[in-house]
Structure 1
Amino acid sequence: MSSNRFLIVLIIIFFYFSHHVLTNKEGMYLIVAPGTVRSDSIMHMSIALNNFRNSCWFNISLKSSENIRNGHIERLHGFQLVEVLPNSVKLVELQVSSLYGKRGKLEISGYRGIQSRDSAHINFEHNSYSVFIQTNKPKYKPGESVKFRVICIDHLTRPAQIIDQKIFVLIYDSQDYLMKHIADVKLVKGVFKGEFQISDSPVLGDWKIKVEIGGDAAAEKSFQVAKYVLPIFSVRILTKSNVAYAENKIAVAISAR
């Protein structure tokens, strides 16, 4: 697992002064959040309070920024106001909208009962979808046609809508030579259907279909090209000419050759 996927842990120890008591009172809160978040998903985190007498309220926001020609754009991808009881742990589910860029910032500030403001960088992952490749059979003979389909679904198993990234389908033979390149694939309700004709004298072995989205490998499927003869056999099942539905048992004779 890459380091950017490890959990980011923020531990803040602070001192505050009471208006009524001049002695310092010490408290600590612990925030645990993921280092990577996906578009259109739920970001899970926790906030723990220790050595507090009263509840504390926190503003939680996930933001990203972008420099443009005439200035600076800041986007808000999620916001939530959370109350945490004293000496307890609060589990937070932050709804994340569509993300832009590769990195953002998680900001947490005290709203009531605590005065603090902290932030941490969060990596963005845009491929909030899964890709699957299916073929009409696992083994093909020379000269046959390979029928396949690519299925893209989101994290809710609905048809994924991939608009801002190009999709490519690449077919390689067993020696990793590119045999077909389908560019600018268009999904119809999350599905693309394709077909590939194998030559009469192909390289035998394990071929593969690869799908790339936005220049990154998304899925891979292998199939076999081999010279083989399907076994010829027949199975006969004989029963009585008249069978009643109410009968518990039916006598049959099975023969195969």
Structure 2
Amino acid sequence: MWKLLLLASISIVNAKNTFLILAPKTISPSTTLRLGVNSLNASQDLTVTARVQTQEWNNFPYEHYEQIYVDHANNTNTILGGDAGIVNVKTPQDLKSDNYFLKVQVETSSGEEYTRMYNLKYYSKYLSAFIQTDKAIYKPGSTVNIRAFAVYSDLLSYTGNMTIEIFDPNNNKLMLQKDVKDPTGVVTKSFKLSAMPILGDWKIRVTIPNSQMEEKKFEVSNYNLPRFEVTVDVPSFALVTDRDTLRAKFLQSIHLAREYLVSQRFTLRYLEIILDLVPLSNRRSS
């Protein structure tokens, strides 16, 4: 989550000439720092430069060491007087853990300058990967449909390469899709289970280069789907002599329909409803 670092009203010439800058407090590799600049009621144009820097030691050209600031990313934008704008600073993907500073320089059209520097907190994780399947449990011989995608910390889609692997419960790798990608950022794949697979928890692994690895489990089991579903419409209050409605929905393609009589008993003290399903006939209908 982005946090606000700089929230200040800075005077340029007088009390009527002010601007406001909002900046993030954190930094991660391959992300974009967005600085919001609002010149408020300032009549002068503003040239805003943002730099991501670290402090390092250097002994050139002298024989003694001195501290210098090294740029890792920077960008400049001009904001018209009385207008608002954004300064985007793209950080490199190979950004390592260090003590980073955000240096903001503002220059007005009349030549006045303002500079301020702030600490940035480094986070190595810049991508969040997600794996989805169409079901949680699969039967032998069925097809596992997979969808994988990743987003940056600013919720923009990742459209680069990723590797998708599938492992059985014995950790045998049964599928490998390397360097797959999609222009939309959402990669879809499918995997056909054999007629006699190893039952248990299988694993999907998605790996993004120079980033992270995400895993998701799904179960392979010999299970039977429910043949029908029963729902009961219950009023907000009821008497012992009342009768309610029971609906049965067949979930599989079977040519069978039956009529049922519902005998019910209400225990209002505990708000308990007991339903007994009694078939009236075994008559078949198509």
TM-score, structure 2 as length reference: 0.50
CA RMSD of aligned residues (A): 5.0
2:218 to 209, 223, 245: 223
CA 1:9/1:137 → structure 2, altered by over 3 Å: closer, same or farther? same
CA 1:120/1:159 → structure 2, altered by over 3 Å: closer, same or farther? closer
Residue equivalent to 2:253: 233
CA distance in 2, matches of 1:196, 1:127: 33
Matching residue's letter, 1:43: R
Contact 1:233 1:256 in 2 (8 A): no
Residue equivalent to 2:178: 185
* Superposed displacement of residue 33, structure 1: 1.1
* Superposed displacement of residue 117, structure 1: 1.0
Matching residue's letter, 1:79: T
Segments of 5+ residues of structure 2 without an aligned counterpart are: 61-68, 228-251, 257-283
Secondary structure at the residue paired with 1:228? coil
Residue equivalent to 1:161: 160
Contact 2:205 2:213 in 1 (8 A): yes
Matching residue's letter, 1:227: N
* Superposed displacement of residue 45, structure 1: 1.7
- 2:200 matches 1:211: no
Secondary structure at the residue paired with 1:116? strand
Residue equivalent to 2:21: 31
CA 1:158/1:115 → structure 2, altered by over 3 Å: closer, same or farther? closer
Alignment of 1:91-170 (within 5 A): 91-97=84-90, 99-100=92-93, 101-102=95-96, 105-112=101-108, 113=110, 114-122=112-120, 131-135=129-133, 137-141=135-139, 143-144=140-141, 147-152=144-149, 160-162=159-161, 167=163, 169=165
Higher-Rg member (1/2): 2
Secondary structure at the residue paired with 2:80? strand
Q: Deviations over 1:100-149 (max 9, x none)?
A: 414654332231254211122445778776644343544212x4465343
Count of matched residue positions in the alignment of Structure 1 and Structure 2: 212
CA 1:121/1:145 → structure 2, altered by over 3 Å: closer, same or farther? farther
Contact 1:135 1:146 in 2 (8 A): no
Contact 1:34 1:45 in 2 (8 A): no
CA distance in 1, matches of 2:107, 2:285: 79
Matching residue's letter, 2:138: Y
CA 1:159/1:120 → structure 2, altered by over 3 Å: closer, same or farther? closer
Matching residue's letter, 1:111: E
* Superposed displacement of residue 8, structure 1: 0.6
2:44 to 36, 41, 55: 55
CA distance in 1, matches of 2:26, 2:190: 34
CA distance in 2, matches of 1:168, 1:200: 20
Q: Deviations over 1:213-241 (max 9, x none)?
A: 346344x54534332234553469xxxxx
Contact 1:44 1:91 in 2 (8 A): no
TM-score, structure 1 as length reference: 0.54
CA distance in 2, matches of 1:197, 1:66: 55
CA distance in 2, matches of 1:94, 1:13: 17
**Seq. identity, %:** 20
Higher share in strand? 1
Segments of 5+ residues of structure 1 without an aligned counterpart are: 17-24, 237-254
CA 1:223/1:184 → structure 2, altered by over 3 Å: closer, same or farther? closer
Q: Deviations over 1:69-110 (max 9, x none)?
A: xx997444432122343xxxx543233445241465433223
CA 1:154/1:196 → structure 2, altered by over 3 Å: closer, same or farther? same
Residue equivalent to 1:20: none
CA distance in 2, matches of 1:47, 1:6: 18
CA distance in 2, matches of 1:77, 1:123: 17
CA distance in 2, matches of 1:36, 1:73: 18
* Superposed displacement of residue 59, structure 1: 2.0
